[in-house]
A and B are shown apart, each in its own frame.
Chain A
């Protein structure tokens, strides 16, 4: 009965006019940025974060989440029509979606990817509703040692997923942790690394870092003269969208496999929508009886990854909302939003803010319905938007970045930080250093330090305290196993020759 009353509360919150409006705005904006290549969901969420400051926390989360999963729906559009992924998670949709478009059947993958996204999203959501409260009941027992280990695992997993060069990712996570320490030390009240600038006492805002690394640095990269952009071809009406009977039959299994895989992977820290979509594609090529059809327009190659990334997007909320440990950059931004609104992340979020948790879940469910309507009948509109040239788009992005950063603290100094971080971010991209571990480290930095200090204080300075609790010891064991496994597999790859090099370059750009 408890679950029913919680759902009831969720419906009350999500169906208020204001929240319905935030949800609609979020999913439409999400579809828009998803459709436009060169403007990713992480960029869009970080750009709009400052403007949600004035909303109540539920409204802010509903809108930002809408951008996130809306972007996943929209992301496949550019992949299919232009062979250019609108978002990293939609990169796989190019493999079989674009060949279908070249055969003049673009409507079919577009329609089917909306349907499979819907199935994946809804199943993922249902899983969050069941699993999150269960995980919370375990997590409430956590002490500082368990928290420290959990966050370490989260960082490590995110680092592993972000780039194939583990040392780079770990280095970036460490840079993020260090930057997170800038400002006033919560224990001693001492100012650290502020260079005597008063506004630095509050630390480096994650919003500015996100806008610089995912917004500004991305615009800089997109403006490199060799980047080429295509224009989409027209697609015909409703009838061209219907799959053949054979395709529909083959899609069912693929959607279900993709959904299951995505839902499982998404709940693990580090493996977000992008990773899940790639794995789902690989699985489809393995289970298929005719693997040679893949890459030439097999519908399974479109629907399975699309179902997987949407399911993963939803279950990704489990670690973020129950443990306060974000799985990827978007999770980090959602967590940052909670902190920004004065809500301490962790297992108490659901019990102390039930309206927020259940309202958000129900609104995401509504959002998935809205997205079907936003995407399928209006597909022509989105195709038209695809033809807006980037030279018009990017100055508008710049204005959003400037006003957004300025409004965080009404200080011009933050804009200088934005410019500096942006230029640094461009250099880091050139060095293949992934930005998401840095962002995660920046948000987790103060919390990791605080929990480590408390754990060691309780353990009288003996680091073994981290291994005394079975949960903490187990998590640290998983960390060590992950590290060893990655080291061993990278050693094997090196032995196999230089092939790994080009592969790693590709993975890098997909995950950036």
Chain B
């Protein structure tokens, strides 16, 4: 049974039921209207129910078949490092500026794999920071400040 809980179809099915259900609950207050004059809630509720149904069928079919296709290992290191790298960019871009955001973003991204080498990633960070400052703010003129005034 524990095996079946790691089955790809069952996990996907549960995910679909969850997402569909969340949209149905969220849309319940929006006003259904009639088929002729649909309210803002009509279409999302229908889609959400359909999604939940698809999820149920997917999970049920796999539960009946009982031949689990186990989900592959989830590697947290790249996911966590890259998420952190983006969040650090988002935190720094408005407070300090592009130069800091690029440097930190690249360096944090470097944590995602054990293949990274210290000297190399620092060089990449400097190069990408210079490239972004020159190309994105200079040539393309994107409205970003380089450093806090």
* Cross-chain contact B58 with A171 (CB below 8 angstroms): yes
Q: Which of B36, B82, B93, B120 contacts A422 (CB 8 A)?
A: B82
Q: Is A311 an interface residue (CB 8 A)?
A: no
Given contacts A216-B86, A395-B124, 13 further A-B contacts (CB under 8 A): A51-B136, A167-B57, A175-B16, A175-B51, A181-B47, A188-B39, A192-B40, A391-B120, A392-B124, A395-B106, A406-B144, A453-B43, A461-B34
* Cross-chain contact A431 with B8 (CB below 8 angstroms): yes
* Cross-chain contact B109 with A394 (CB below 8 angstroms): yes
Q: Which residues of B contact A392 (CB under 8 A)?
A: 120, 124
* Cross-chain contact B83 with A402 (CB below 8 angstroms): no
Of residues 20 through 50 on chain B, the ones whose CB sits less than 8 Å from some CB of chain A are 20, 23, 26-27, 30-31, 34-40, 43-44, 47-48, 50
CA distance A456 to B94 in the complex (A): 47
* Cross-chain contact A190 with B8 (CB below 8 angstroms): no
CA distance A224 to B117 in the complex (A): 17
Q: Which of A20-28, A79-87, A412-420 is the interface stretch?
A: A412-420
Q: Is A101 an interface residue (CB 8 A)?
A: no
* Cross-chain contact A456 with B82 (CB below 8 angstroms): no
Q: Is A457 an interface residue (CB 8 A)?
A: yes
- CB closest chain-A residue, reference B48: A178
Q: Is B148 an interface residue (CB 8 A)?
A: no
Q: Which residues of A contact B116 (CB under 8 A)?
A: 391
- CB closest chain-B residue, reference A390: B115
Q: Is B5 an interface residue (CB 8 A)?
A: no
Instruction: List B residues at the A interface (Cβ < 8 Å).
Output: 8, 11-12, 15-16, 19-20, 23, 26-27, 30-31, 34-40, 43-44, 47-48, 50-51, 54-55, 57-58, 61, 67, 69, 71-72, 74-75, 77-79, 82-83, 85-87, 89-91, 93-94, 98, 101-102, 105-106, 109-110, 112-117, 120-121, 124-125, 128, 131-132, 136, 140-144
* Cross-chain contact A433 with B51 (CB below 8 angstroms): no
Given contacts A177-B47, A453-B38, contact A398 B142 (CB under 8 A): no
* Cross-chain contact A432 with B54 (CB below 8 angstroms): no
Q: List 28 A-B contacts (CB under 8 A).
A: A51-B140, A54-B141, A168-B58, A171-B12, A171-B16, A171-B51, A174-B47, A175-B16, A175-B19, A175-B51, A178-B19, A187-B38, A192-B27, A193-B23, A216-B86, A395-B109, A398-B85, A399-B128, A399-B132, A402-B85, A402-B86, A403-B144, A416-B87, A419-B83, A430-B71, A449-B43, A456-B36, A463-B35
Instruction: List A residues at the B interface (Cβ < 8 Å).
Output: 51, 54, 167-168, 170-171, 174-175, 177-178, 181, 185, 187-188, 190, 192-193, 216, 219-220, 223-225, 389-392, 394-396, 398-399, 401-403, 406-407, 410, 412-413, 415-416, 418-419, 422-423, 426-427, 430-433, 449, 452-453, 456-457, 460-463, 498, 501
Q: Which of B38, B43, B75 contacts A181 (CB 8 A)?
A: B43
Q: Which residues of A contact B85 (CB under 8 A)?
A: 398, 402
- CB closest chain-B residue, reference A461: B36
